[in-house]
């Protein structure tokens, strides 16, 4: 009788464990499906923007040609300034070899500029040798950029966000810089704790915790610097072949 009871308990425990694993797997697959759907949507938007840009380019070239013929050089300069600025921003956001990252940067640029925020992208590496999955990298970048958008939305005056992507011998380096609400010295040590949030921040305080866990999972580091003028979240991700030595 005792042996039968123990056997039944073992079977129940195994079944419960299988159910838990199944639920977690389904949730992960659902999250990844939502991620892929979002990236596809963003890439469609990016493709439409590029097609529209080509159409606008042809029309604008006709205007430029006409101004040159008329000798209206001062007016031509003023006409080209905003167009050049837009082309440079778009071009810099498309420099990586990861389509999902390109689409994410384009989508966040559109979102930020729609809210009156100057959004700049500086890509000095094409990320061709990353050891991290596209899924994890986009989650990290999305959380940090969303955090920056919320921070600058709470200030008056000029709002600015810069995403800087570079590399050194063994790592890729990502910096998300904004001139929004500063982080006090007393909060710096707690900012990556689960559930921690500042008084004016929105959400449940899990974004930066998720960032820290994902960066650590991929053998990287994340840190925050903040002064009177700006704050910067910087994280590193190992290149392939480097993480095994960490």
CA dist 101 and 106 (Å) reads 9
pLDDT at 199 over 60: no
Q: What integer best gives the mean pLDDT of the chain?
A: 79
pLDDT at 244 (0 to 100) = 42
pLDDT at 201 (0 to 100) = 46
pLDDT at 13 (0 to 100) = 79
Region of poorest pLDDT, from 63-67, 81-85, 99-103, 187-191: 81-85
Q: Answer with the residue of higher pLDDT: 3 or 168.
A: 168
CA dist 170 and 237 (Å) reads 9
Please return the burial class of 17, using the count of CB atoms within 10 Å of its CB with bins 0-12, 13-18 and 19+.
exposed
User: Could you tell me the sign of the dihedral formed by the alpha carbons of 191, 195, 200, 201, in that order?
Assistant: positive
Specify the fold of 32-245.
Heat Shock Protein 90 (3.30.565)
188 φ, ψ (degrees, to nearest 5): -60, -40
Nearest to 96 by CA among 57, 140, 136, 137: 137
Q: Per-domain residue ranges for the chain?
A: 32-245
Please return the burial class of 199, using the count of CB atoms within 10 Å of its CB with bins 0-12, 13-18 and 19+.
exposed
> pLDDT tens digits for 135-193?
899 999 999 999 999 999 988 888 999 999 999 988 999 999 999 888 877 787 788 88
Nearest to 237 by CA among 35, 36, 108, 96: 96
CB 87 within 8 A of CB 121: no
pLDDT at 191 (0 to 100) = 85
Strands 222-226 and 171-178: what pairing? unpaired
The answer, as to whether pTM is greater than 0.75, is no
């Amino acid at each position: 009788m005792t042996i039968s009871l123990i056997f039944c308990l073992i079977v129940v425990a195994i079944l419960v464990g299988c159910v838990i694993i199944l639920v977690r797997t389904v949730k992960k697959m659902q999250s990844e499906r939502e991620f892929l759907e979002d990236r596809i949507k963003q890439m469609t938007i990016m493709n439409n923007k590029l097609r529209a840009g080509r159409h606008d380019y042809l029309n604008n070239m006709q205007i430029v040609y006409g101004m040159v013929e008329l000798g209206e050089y001062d007016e031509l300069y003023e006409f080209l300034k905003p167009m050049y600025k837009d082309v440079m921003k778009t071009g810099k956001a498309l420099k990586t070899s990861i389509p999902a990252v390109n689409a994410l940067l384009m989508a966040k640029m559109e979102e930020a500029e729609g809210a009156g925020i100057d959004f700049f992208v500086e890509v000095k590496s094409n990320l061709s040798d990353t050891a991290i999955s596209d899924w994890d990298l986009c989650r990290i970048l999305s959380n940090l950029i969303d955090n920056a958008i919320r921070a600058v939305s709470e200030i008056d005056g000029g709002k600015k966000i810069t995403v800087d992507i570079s590399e050194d011998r063994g790592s890729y380096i990502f910096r998300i810089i904004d001139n929004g609400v500063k982080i006090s010295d007393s909060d710096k040590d707690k900012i990556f704790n689960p559930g921690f949030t500042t008084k004016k921040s929105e959400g449940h305080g899990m974004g930066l915790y998720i960032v820290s866990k994902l960066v650590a999972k991929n053998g990287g580091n994340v840190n925050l610097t903040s002064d009177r003028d700006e704050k910067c979240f910087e994280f590193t991700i190992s290149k392939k072949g480097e993480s095994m030595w960490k």
